[in-house]
Structure 1
Amino acid sequence: MQHYQTKEPGRAIPSQYSYDKIQDQLRHALDLLSKGKTGEALRLYRKILNSDPDNLHALFNAGIIHHSGEDLSQAVACYRKVLDQEPTNFQALHHMANALKDLGHTNEAIMTYTAALELDNAHADTHYNLAITLHQEGRFEEAAERYQKAIDSDQSHFPAHYNKGVLFYEMECFVEAAQCYRNGLTIQPDEPDCLYNLGLTLTKLGHLAEAVNCHELCIRLNPDDPELHNTLGSLYKQQTRLEEAEACYRKAISLRPDYGIAHTNLAIVLHTLDRTEEAILSYQNAIDHGHDQESAKYMLSALKGESRTSAPQLYITKLFDNYAENFEQTLTEKLGYEVPRLLKELFDDLVPPEVKLGHGIDLGCGTGLAGLHFKERVSRFTGVDLSGGMIKKAEEKKIYDSLHRADITEHLNSSPECFDLFIATDVFIYLGEIRPLFTAIAKRASDHALMLFSVELGEGNADYTLQKSGRYCYSPDYLQRLARDTGFKVLALREARLRKEKGEWLRGLLIAMGKTPGPTGSDQL
């Protein structure tokens, strides 16, 4: 911090101290400060203030020392005494605002910064510190304006460029955030945090190759940072560069053996590469190191062929939160996914085009891929999903009249609404035992409600089977029993290619069921 000096004060010095003696002490105190001897300097300033309580030099510099020693209340008291004598003292206002901010007295800090800027509106650090305060208060638009004023006052103000990037990232203005980080890197080209954040931002924008370049440069600057290796591994995984991803995760683990998320990520890559035994070991390591244990235990069950009645909610939530950003592009462009369109064709074969159903609900709505196909065939439309990331993407499409982040069975059991259409595309594959869901649907179904859904087709006799993929497949007999027991009948059934996995088409069923007037259905699959 800088230290305050002014012209000699034009006022009387107490009789017991000569003017020259006080000046000698002030010079000696400054010399002590320059040598880092803050304790001795503070004692000397206190001695001066005992004799001359209004000495501006001693008050201000004592405030600086208190501030640097985190005695913030004393620092504010000293700055206030300076301002009592000189209300327009810019330095005292600036530093008092900093101390007030550090004390958590946010509103007074903002007012004090503003008062300082009325005296010097070109002071970059004051604009910057005010921006930080507004940013922390969630006043994003005002903060962005102040960051820019700091930059306008000093184009080389790296922290203003950097934190403006952080602000825009939090506002999900990723193009603007990336530009801020790039501007910062023109000032400090090898600043690792700025490079790292630019990489994260480019990832959000889908610019994976550029993001990889940023993280590779970060690693050259910080080769022993396990987090950087883990993040680069995740980027390689998104690019399906699985061997390189594996190497990154192993490097992260070698640097930090208890790095649970790296063990999990390594397990996922090994699983994808069909190296089952190694994947099992890595999932076990993730459990041993306390990372996402329920999900890891679930995947261990899948790989070992063990029975589980359902996937953990946390597993589903994390899975789809992580997929949300690139979910649609991956499904439709890379995996040939057309289940929503195929289910809509099934619906159109059953319901004349002039008929519009009342209230529809999209169970596990995701980003709204299915909703886009059905929104014109219902008067009201509700979407429900466990993933907040998916809900956010669905909101952007403005398909649904209402969206709910919830477990679909719990939502139906607590809802007072009745529905005329239920759709569930690739949802049951994460649920396992779906009898409770069918029971909940039956309670909320109108007299002639329709239900359309897709499932992966099982080959054995089990009602449902947890596959190595971590998804469930179902037997037709089980679905028939559920229909009969919950008052539905099968109206249509089609085999379909659901999507590609490792270059092969997954077999599945598209099913339409209708609510029957009586307690059971009668059609056979």
Structure 2
Amino acid sequence: MSDALARAYDLLDAQDRLGAMSCLREAHGAEAAGLLGELLLEDGHAAEAAEALSRALAVDPAHTPWQRALVTALIMAGRRADALEACRSLLARRPDDAAGHSSMARLTLDLGDREAALAHAREARFLAPADLTILAATGHVLIDADEALMAVEMLDAALRQAHPADPAQPAAWVVLGKSWQHLGEPDKAEKAWQSALSLDDADPAGAASLLAGLAERGNQTSLPTAFVRALFDTYADRFDRELVGKLHYDAPQALRQLLTDQAVPTGGRVLDAGCGTGLAGLAVRDRADYLAGFDLSPRMVEKAQARAVYDVLWVGDLVESMQSRPAAFDLVLAADVLVYVGDLTPVMSAAAQTLTPAGYFAFTCERSEGDGFCLHEGRRFAHGERHIRAAVEASGLRLAHLAPHSTRIDRGAPVPGWIALAIKPS
């Protein structure tokens, strides 16, 4: 060990960080360069850290902690291509390195390869199920990949068994809270962020500012996409049994009867918006020359595909899927889909765009006695008559039918609802 390196260690022991870094800049050898790089990275000087770590690795390319630090420094410095190359080198040498897989998850997601990112995230969790630092970083990736439920399951399990003195707890609680927020669970997010604050008043992870941001949560106009997707991905295997068998769900049959009663022409191109497992598709297949369907939940689409009644199916967002297919369908169905949307104006506008002239939009939703819409305790929206009429009118559609109809029961009583038919002018 050189005199300069020894002096740097003495200064670090004496809490003189700046003096130690000054000595390390004058020292020679891989150990000095590596230590300098790690200190610079801790202080946020990513570009200089990457340079020092690269010098160290040129001498000792198999030093795993320096490899990890270099990947992090390159990501922080915005050098994504170099970071990807460094991470690949790390995993080639150490395929069991959890931190490397977590970093690769971030890099591949940023490059648009979601499936590869999720594979690396799962590997990071498998290899380091109790490392809160790695799991917090991986959790951020899962949130950005719209897999917040996976992040919740991962972090909740790890935090339940974490050592009380683990310094990574606050950051992990913050990421857990962000995951709950992404899933539309502000109360659970609040509890997680309060846990983070209780562990460290200095709040290095920013829990206080996140808690302050929850003040706006009362203005919710729709449920988060991630919440709806996670709900139905989880629910898909038992959806038909519970909805039809236990809740006596009849929206598909009610919509079919509405089409008959209102003399809606048969044939043509039909879109089942929010198709779920395909119950509505089954109900109207014989009325359609061409039947398309989509749902936000990949698992629901898989179930619908198995019914073999659709000409085409895809995974997609409610509004975007209709907006991106102008004048494509003669009839659009939305069976119990609008309960996950507050403000119906964007949905009505998108339906108007995807309909051909003189096309029809048939839908059900839950009923509110007020004029607007409200999110009730069941995490579903209920809509007032005035709001429905205003949203339909704003879209340019004409409301041909609106009547009370309950599509299911809850706790032994019918849930108040609406059944409606809107028409696009010819």
Q: 2-side partners of 1:192 and 1:349: how far apart? A: 59
Shift of 1:359: 1.8
Task: State percent identity of aligned pairs.
Answer: 17
2:23 pairs, out of 24, 40, 44, with 44
Candidates 254, 277, 282, aligned match of 1:342: 254
CA 1:25/1:343 → structure 2, altered by over 3 Å: closer, same or farther? closer
Question: The residue matched to 2:268 in structure 1 has which SS?
Answer: strand
Q: Does 1:99 align with 2:65?
A: no
Equivalent AA in structure 1 for residue 8 of structure 2: A
Of residues 216, 222, 246, the one that matches 1:261 is 216
- Aligned residue number for residue 28 of structure 1: 7
Contact in 2 for aligned 1:195/1:214 (Cα 8 Å): no
SS of residue paired to 1:444? strand
Q: Cα distance, 1:373 vs. partner? A: 1.8
Structure 1 distance, partners of 2:125, 2:417, is: 58
- In the aligned structure 2, how far is the partner of 1:76 from the partner of 1:125? 17
Letter in 2 for 1:379: D
Higher relative contact order (CA 8 A, sep 6+): 2
Cα deviation for residue 374 of structure 1 reads 1.2
Q: Provide the aligned length of Structure 1 versus Structure 2.
A: 375
Which residue identity does 1:444 align to in structure 2? P
The runs of 5 or more residues in structure 1 that have no matched partner are: 1-7, 9-22, 226-251, 265-291, 296-314, 458-464, 520-525
Shift of 1:106: 2.2
Residue deviations 1:261-296, cap 9 Å, x none? Answer: 35x2xxxxxxxxxxxxxxxxxxxxxxxxxxx4xx8x
Summarize the Cα distance change of 1:150–1:39 in structure 2 as closer, same or farther, 3 Å threshold.
same
- Conserved in 2, the CA contact under 8 Å of 1:168 and 1:177? yes
Q: How does 1:86-235 map to 2 (within 5 A)?
A: 86=60, 92-119=66-93, 125-134=99-108, 136-143=110-117, 146=120, 156-164=130-138, 167=141, 177=151, 180-181=154-155, 183-185=157-159, 187-188=161-162, 191=169
The equivalent of 2:378 in structure 1 is none
Deviation digits for residues 87-140 of structure 1, max 9, x if unmatched?
A: 555555444333222212222223223434555556554555445544554545
Task: Find out whether 1:77 has 2:56 as its counterpart.
Answer: no
Q: Tell me, what secondary structure is at the counterpart of 2:289?
A: strand
Deviation (angstroms), 1:217: 8.4
> Are 1:204 and 1:325, in contact at CA under 8 Å, matched by a contact in 2?
no
- How far apart, CA to CA, are the structure 2 residues paired with 1:321 and 1:156? 25
Assess if the C-alpha contact under 8 Å between 1:148 and 1:160 holds in 2: no
Q: Is the 8 A contact 2:365 2:383 kept in 1?
A: no
Deviations 1:307-339 (CA, angstroms, capped at 9, x unpaired): xxxxxxxx4x55999777669979878976534
- Distance in 1 between residues matched to 2:366 and 2:63, nearest whole Å: 74
Confirm or deny that 1:444 pairs with 2:418: no
- Taking the aligned partners of 1:260 and 1:205, their CA distance within structure 2 comes to 17
Match of 1:34, as an amino acid?
D
Give 1:99's aligned amino acid: A
Cα distance change, pair 371–80 in 1 and its aligned pair in 2 (3 A): same
Shift of 1:82: 3.7
**Residue of structure 1 equivalent to 2:379:** none
CA displacement at 1:32 relative to structure 2: 0.9
Q: Residue 360 of structure 1 is aligned with which of 252, 270, 274?
A: 270
- Alpha-carbon distance in 2 for matches of 1:495, 1:150: 51
SS state at 1:357 partner = coil
Cα RMSD (Å) of the superposition?
Answer: 6.1
- The reply on whether 1:66 has 2:21 as its aligned counterpart is no
For the 8 Å contact 2:179–2:189, the answer to whether it is kept is no
Cα gap change, 1:34 to 1:489, in 2 (>3 Å): closer
Q: Structure 2 vs 1, CA of residues 379 and 194 (structure 1 numbering), >3 Å: closer, same or farther? A: farther
Q: CA separation of 1:377/1:103 partners in 2, compared to 1, >3 Å: closer, same or farther?
A: same
Aligned residue identity for 1:378: A
C-alpha contact (below 8 Å) 1:456/1:473 kept by paired residues: no
Q: Is the 8 A contact 2:332 2:360 kept in 1?
A: yes
Structure 2: how far apart are the matches of 1:324 and 1:155? Answer: 25
User: Aligned partner of 1:31: which letter?
Assistant: D
Aligned equivalents of 1:67 and 1:61: distance in 2?
10
Q: In 2, distance between residues paired with 1:188 and 1:174?
A: 20
Please give the residue correspondences for 1:401-416 in structure 2 after superposition, counting only pairs within 5 Å.
Answer: 401=312, 415-416=326-327
- Whether the 8 Å CA contact 2:255–2:362 is kept in 1: the answer is yes
Per-residue deviation at 1:378? 0.7
Structure 1 residues 336 and 194, CA gap change in structure 2 (3 angstroms): farther
Following the alignment from structure 2 to structure 1, what is the Cα–Cα distance between the partners of residues 229 and 126?
37
Per the normalisation by structure 1, the TM-score is 0.49
Q: Does the 8 Å CA contact 2:366/2:415 hold for their aligned counterparts? A: no
Q: Which amino acid aligns with 1:69?
A: D
> Would you say the 8 A contact 2:102–2:120 is kept in 1?
yes
Q: Which runs of 5+ in 2 are unaligned?
A: 201-207, 375-381
Residue type at the aligned position of 2:326: S
Shift of 1:188: 0.6
Compared with structure 1, are the counterparts of its residues 113 and 334 closer, same or farther at alpha carbon in structure 2 (3 Å cutoff)?
A: same
- Secondary structure at 1:73 match in 2: helix
Contact 1:361–1:383 under 8 Å retained in 2:
yes
Answer whether contact 1:361 1:382 (CA < 8 A) is retained: yes
Render the CA deviation track for 1:376-419: whole Å, top value 9, x for unaligned: 421213569xxxx86878755355736786769x969x934463
CA contact (8 A) 2:132 2:172 kept: no
- Write the deviation string for residues 129-171 of structure 1: whole angstroms up to 9, x where unpaired: 4455445545455455555666676664333445555655665
1:100 is matched by which residue type in structure 2?
L
Matches within 5 A, 1:300-379: 315=221, 317-318=222-223, 338-345=250-257, 347=259, 357-361=267-271, 367=276, 370-379=280-289
